[in-house]
Amino acid sequence: MDQGSGTQLGIGELRQLWAAYGHDLLLHDPGGSGECLVRRGELITSAASLDPVLDRCRRWVDDVQHDEELLLARVRLRGAERDRCVDVARETSGAAANHVHFGSPVMYGTPVMYGTGAEAQAASPIPEPPAVQWDPAVVVGVLDTGCDPHPWFRDRPWFEAVPEELDADDDAGQDRQAGHGTFVSGVLLQHAPGAVLRTQRVLSSLGFTDDYTVVAGLRSLRLAAAARGERIGVVVLTAGCHTADDECPPILREELEHWSDAVVVAAAGNQARSRPFWPAALPSVVGVAATGADGAVAEFSNFGPWVDAAALGADVTSSFVQMAGGGVRNFGYASWSGTSFAAPRVAAAAATALHEGRTPAEALEIVRQDYPFER
């Protein structure tokens, strides 16, 4: 595939795009220093804080959804307070607004599969990653749009399909972010072919997610690993958010504290800005910027002192799935650009270091040295 035309959309434009599909999102402080996108009228909290939160704002509460297994709750506000959810969260200890996370390539291009469509370009197939499995296993958690049974994966003993949703808006066309998780998984296997991948679907094929969904995905990943008796060595997250106070959403920060024994890697985002992008900007997370083939930081990549590493993120080629008529799926490969394709390359380097017997701390140091961020 080749990459479609690149367009960087502002947060307000993204809100309008997603609102057209019925998603009720609020743009907080438009154009200001605290500009961010949240789920309108939603607060999120841990199970331990739910009762105190309800005591504080019960008069504004319309509905509560409580996940007893994951120990998370959504509190939905009513009336005028729906537009004040960020301020209500500030005034309510233990609660937070539910920030919207952007899947990086939504703002920078759409892939077109090689050999299909009027704009496709002929290209030689890229080689399939070797069918090997490391012993002992190095497990990589991938939080994304899913992972389809692409030929690169489907015969590997660890593979469990998490099918991509290709047309969530039912408009008879493939969604802009559909196939993203399959692509990211291919980048990982190209650079760490012996790794075991465990996928959690947290990212919409329309290109966004939120704090609640990401935290739920991380917790589900932990629970599933415990049930299997396996240890997750690396986690890669390919979306992120801005917040009103430029601090990490509390519930996300608290969840990531449970991952101190793993190397957590996150995309730095594609807005060409230095404003912190969460969770990539957390000190405990390896925030990854994108470079071009020349090694220079890509024009679309976020940057700043909170970025830890940089890897190729422009015109990356990997596995892909595309809609065909009658429910058929075509499997092939594509080129795409974004920091979310630089992140799995760095995650693969961390997995390789663990395979070589390095500790997570040593793996973290290796990837920061081998993929330095310089701007």
Q: Kindly list the catalytic residues.
A: 144, 180, 340
Q: Are 139 and 195 in contact (CB under 8 A)?
A: yes
Cα distance between residue 191 and residue 348, in whole Å: 6
Q: Tell me the backbone φ, ψ of residue 197, rounded to 5 degrees.
A: -105, 135
CB 164 within 8 A of CB 145: yes
Rounded-to-integer distance, Cα 86 and Cα 61, Å: 14
Q: How far apart are CA 51 and CA 157, in angstroms?
A: 45
* Tokens at 149, concatenated: 């049974």
Distance of CA 33 to the CA centre of its chain: 24
Q: Six-digit token pair at 222?
A: 């932990």
Query: E strands within 191-231?
Result: 196-201, 208-210
In the structure encoding, which two tokens stand for residue 346, read together?
């760095």
Round to whole Å and give the CA distance between 145 and 150: 14
Task: Measure Cα distances from 227 to 220, 221, 231 in Å.
Answer: 11, 10, 10
10 Å CB burial of residue 29 (0-12, 13-18, 19+) is: exposed
The pair of three-digit structure tokens given for residue 323, joined into one six-digit string? 């809609």
